[in-house]
Structure 1
Amino acid sequence: MFKKLTKLRTFNANFICTNHSKRTSGTIDISKKDDYYKNLGDAEENIDVKPPEWDKALPYESIPGPKPLPLIGNIFRFLPFIGEYYNLPMKELHEAFKRRYGNVVSLTGIGKEPIVFLFDVHDMEKHLRGAGAFPIRRGLDSFTYYRTVTRKDVFKDASGILTIQGVDWFKVRSLVNPVLMQPKTAQQYIGSMDKVTNELIKNIRFFSTQNEKSEMPEDFQNELYKWALESIGFLTLNKHLGCLDLNAPKDSEPQKLIWSVNQMFLLMHNLEIMPATWKYIETPSWKRLVTVLDYVTETLSRNIEETLNKTIPEDVPDEQLNILQRLSKLDKRMAFSMVIDLFISGIDSSGKTIAAALYLLAKNPDKQKYLREEVYNNLPDKNSPITKEILNNSPYLKAVIKETTRIAPVFPGSSRTTIKDSVLGGYRIPKGTEVISMHIISANSEHFKDHEKFIPERWLRTEDSDYSYKNVHPFASQPFGFGPRSCVGKRLANLELEVAISKIIRNFELSWHHEDMVFSGLFLYGIERPLRIRVKEV
């Protein structure tokens, strides 16, 4: 372990201090914009003024929720053998809260600050819209602690937008948005995504020959994680990581990276729900988390350094640079943590989403047929590359992705801390309370007709029936979050999915011949059984 940490410290010093090229030799002094940020914050309404309905609202203590016992609080509910919520998947836990306690639920007595869960779209909209110019998003304490305490010498003051708040967060987000959030910026990477998808299609074709049913192997979900990792490698580093090489050993670096990220989320389930004793005592789960995060940080740091050591000619336009190079022109330290965050968040989320989409298309041949007709019109030759014109002319493809994330949102909810006293659901919510708007309502009959059915037509602008999204509250489905702190990688994620799904459907007919898939997850949500999709060449 000591050897690894030495490497990490050495890399950090090189990364921040060394001029890798003239083009990326400095950082922008964003402190000069402090007056602007201060004025923006001051422009928010007075956070000390209570809302008009405060006096008539019920006190915070009356919010329903699991009742804590003296001394031990609610901890016992999450303990092995005796706890009703022990190892309960996140979605099932939240559904149990809503079913038992209603649309506003308070969870106290677990060794952390109280948490309020919202299940009503009107409360969710009110809360998220009132989060201010610098929304505070708590959560993932273990991840924040790792970067800001355990490995502070590595990340220093550039621990990433997942771990900082307020003006500091806004400064960084203001820098990365033009690079990551503009559609035209994402479109410049279509060619790279096309190359990665072609590798995945080649592997699917190979797997289909390995059994008489032409079914994908039981670990096909892992193949989709490899596709997600390879995609991020091209996007951020313009580097071919070799993730989809069928001859690669099972313990290859990409595979270890995927395993480490998956383990990270599993370990966080325990560390985030249970009392934070790991801050004072090195629990086994905490030690394992540090080990896997050290591997992720060391591996990605080495790849980042290799990319930045390449000299870039001065006349190369920005649109020909990879994301790391573009971010490094703005601030090297920020680029370091930002790229690592994109890898960590992208592997599991994109891998799970495409798995859900392929299953739902295989399970619903009529919807798959509609999509294939659209793809055929845009891509008469299956070997032709995807272009931005093709994606811009693919409304049903986009609807398929939206319907997939409605049915199976990867993340359980959007967390924001109240910046002022508020009233939600008729209850007083004091300033500084963590409130989570729950994504599970997107698969709820209260908001979507035939909510359990896969109906991409809901999201078409031409759809005017009872199924149309126009008849649904806009906050009923927010898989990427809302507002300034929505997912910074959503443009890139959608690009990956659009290219991959369209080319897979253009090459193969998918079918499903097993019992219905189970969707669940301790921390993130996705398929829980082998993705044994059957494919047929078209």
Structure 2
Amino acid sequence: MNTLSSARSVAIYVGPVRSSRSASVLAHEQAKSSITEEHKTYDEIPRPNKFKFMRAFMPGGEFQNASITEYTSAMRKRYGDIYVMPGMFGRKDWVTTFNTKDIEMVFRNEGIWPRRDGLDSIVYFREHVRPDVYGEVQGLVASQNEAWGKLRSAINPIFMQPRGLRMYYEPLSNINNEFIERIKEIRDPKTLEVPEDFTDEISRLVFESLGLVAFDRQMGLIRKNRDNSDALTLFQTSRDIFRLTFKLDIQPSMWKIISTPTYRKMKRTLNDSLNVSQKMLKENQDALEKRRQAGEKINSNSMLERLMEIDPKVAVIMSLDILFAGVDATATLLSAVLLCLSKHPDKQAKLREELLSIMPTKDSLLNEENMKDMPYLRAVIKETLRYYPNGFGTMRTCQNDVILSGYRVPKGTTVLLGSNVLMKEATYYPRPDEFLPERWLRDPETGKKMQVSPFTFLPFGFGPRMCIGKRVVDLEMETTVAKLIRNFHVEFNRDASRPFKTMFLMEPAITFPFKFTDIEQ
């Protein structure tokens, strides 16, 4: 079936386009009517000198090795809650805002086809380097407007409905059982600490779990086949792409003017990951065909098989994007959860108490039924996302003229929305420097939940373009944390005053040689 016609038919089935369009039109009219001559012009928004800003990223400059959080926060102190980050070398200016009303205004006016620019190096590769594969299907990461809307509508039922994940509970439990055995193999028999490079092991676990969803196969990188060349290529490239994107598309870069070494490395990385994924998916299809010819009944409920029914190209692109968007971010989140629990043993004990009631034995398999009853587990993960925000925020390109912090911002302007930074501010979250999973649960006395300030807790984005992999990440994180804390008491006996840095996404700034002590029960 043709991809776009298939997407169109699914979009008609899914449905909420009319109400979304109505809401979008209403928001646009409200925004338009609120713009008056009293508002300041776009040119009056505070901003640094373009050449001084560029110099700050060069060797010896203030921001040479700075993360996005470090340099945006430094500029916030100088210019306030809204300022312009100057564009250069082919990149337009970006407006950066930390104002919740601005964030809401941008989201409320994003329309049914929100536009998120900022990954130009990937877009260029898909449009101009490998159009033979991508063609009119750019993927959710790179596509915009109606093409994005049709693709998103086609694959939403696959990713956003809980029933699509049922088949992964047992294999994910088994993958985590294998990871537990790996921990026992590599930890020091005396100190019970794992090696300094344990973050690599965590990344392998996450890659194995997401690879199960993306490619319908277990790669074996945890223990069984650690030197699998194809899997290692995908593993490494999925981790490299975000770092290269940060250098090319966030920091000042001349790649749009001349072919820089960093862009050439990005092109090789994207080509390598594409070639291996095509090879793997062909092997999958060949194996399935042999099984069908042998008369074997095939389960076609996997996410990959359902994507193949839409279009094999869609399957290739989404499989790659699952790894590209998911491996590093999820691995860092898992490191952060383990760190929070190790530094707050009372919270770890409370979580384990919940898990013991659901998982009577260490090797208990998790399923859809028993995972419903783990509110404290989910609160721990949610509080970790607040305590260690997984990035700066998100981007949107204004679909209409809007007023942000009293300034007239024209249609087509890219806005960097610093919502994640707000999660550590007392204005929005009482006792922000304390790790309190209980803040996400109902008060046992009043039965009420904490009122979260709108547009401050958006770790997976907001609206039609929110992260499509949220449910997959939730399942992966809940399964892994449950299995690890049921089997081990986790400690971290090192300095953890600045454990993470945020480049494009948050990533470790230190090593994590956690101590894993077996639970006797």
> So what's the TM-score if we normalise by structure 2?
0.91
In structure 2, the CA distance between the partners of 1:243 and 1:464, relative to structure 1 (3 Å rule), is farther
Q: Is the 8 A contact 2:441 2:450 kept in 1?
A: no
Q: Is the 8 A contact 1:356 1:526 kept in 2?
A: no
Query: What does residue 505 of structure 2 align with?
Result: 524
Q: Is the 8 A contact 1:51 1:423 kept in 2?
A: no
Q: Is the 8 A contact 2:214 2:319 kept in 1?
A: yes
2: CA distance, partners of 1:105 / 1:332: 43
Query: What does residue 399 of structure 1 align with?
Result: 379
Deviation string 1:187-226 (CA, Å, 9 cap, x unpaired) is: 3311121111111111112122x34210011111111111
Q: Is the 8 A contact 1:87 1:522 kept in 2?
A: no
2: CA distance, partners of 1:474 / 1:35: 29
Structure 2 gaps, min length 5: none
2: CA distance, partners of 1:39 / 1:447: 34
Q: Which moved more, 1:49-58 or 1:474-483?
A: 49-58
Matched, 1:45 2:25: yes
Matched, 1:200 2:172: no
In structure 2, the CA distance between the partners of 1:31 and 1:342, relative to structure 1 (3 Å rule), is closer
Query: What does residue 513 of structure 1 align with?
Result: 493
Q: 2:58 is aligned with what amino acid?
A: L
2: CA distance, partners of 1:488 / 1:318: 26
Q: Which moved more, 1:501-510 or 1:333-342?
A: 333-342
Aligned mate of 2:284, from 295, 307, 322 = 307
- Structure 1 residue 254, shift from structure 2 partner: 2.9
Aligned mate of 1:298, from 275, 278, 288 = 275
2: CA distance, partners of 1:201 / 1:32: 44
2: CA distance, partners of 1:67 / 1:416: 24
Query: What does residue 422 of structure 2 align with?
Result: 441
- Structure 1 residue 109, shift from structure 2 partner: 4.0
Q: Which moved more, 1:416-425 or 1:516-525?
A: 516-525
Query: What does residue 130 of structure 1 align with?
Result: 109
Query: What does residue 67 of structure 1 align with?
Result: 49
Q: 1:50 is aligned with what amino acid?
A: K
In structure 2, the CA distance between the partners of 1:425 and 1:106, relative to structure 1 (3 Å rule), is same
1: CA distance, partners of 2:11 / 2:231: 44
Q: Is the 8 A contact 1:226 1:255 kept in 2?
A: no
Q: 2:43 is aligned with what amino acid?
A: E
In structure 2, the CA distance between the partners of 1:328 and 1:129, relative to structure 1 (3 Å rule), is same
Query: What does residue 62 of structure 2 align with?
Result: 84
Query: What does residue 99 of structure 1 align with?
Result: 77
Aligned mate of 1:453, from 431, 434, 439 = 434
2: CA distance, partners of 1:273 / 1:179: 31
In structure 2, the CA distance between the partners of 1:264 and 1:26, relative to structure 1 (3 Å rule), is closer
Q: Is the 8 A contact 1:141 1:272 kept in 2?
A: yes
Q: Is the 8 A contact 1:78 1:86 kept in 2?
A: yes
- Structure 1 residue 40, shift from structure 2 partner: 7.8
2: CA distance, partners of 1:376 / 1:451: 29
Structure 1 gaps, min length 5: 1-24
Matched, 1:260 2:237: yes
Q: 1:76 is aligned with what amino acid?
A: R
2: CA distance, partners of 1:65 / 1:499: 45
Query: What does residue 137 of structure 2 align with?
Result: 158
In structure 2, the CA distance between the partners of 1:531 and 1:469, relative to structure 1 (3 Å rule), is farther
Query: What does residue 285 of structure 1 align with?
Result: 262
Deviation string 1:49-90 (CA, Å, 9 cap, x unpaired) is: 82324322111111122233xxx4732222222x32222111
2: CA distance, partners of 1:318 / 1:399: 38
Deviation string 1:119-148 (CA, Å, 9 cap, x unpaired) is: 122221221122111101111111111111
Matched, 1:142 2:121: yes
Q: Is the 8 A contact 2:246 2:503 kept in 1?
A: yes
- Structure 1 residue 402, shift from structure 2 partner: 0.6
Matched, 1:363 2:339: no
Aligned length: 507
Q: Is the 8 A contact 1:73 1:108 kept in 2?
A: no
SS of 2:84 mapped into structure 1: strand
> So what's the TM-score if we normalise by structure 1?
0.88
SS of 1:85 mapped into structure 2: coil
Aligned mate of 2:100, from 117, 121, 130 = 121
In structure 2, the CA distance between the partners of 1:247 and 1:41, relative to structure 1 (3 Å rule), is closer
Q: Is the 8 A contact 1:91 1:521 kept in 2?
A: yes
Q: Which moved more, 1:46-55 or 1:129-138?
A: 46-55
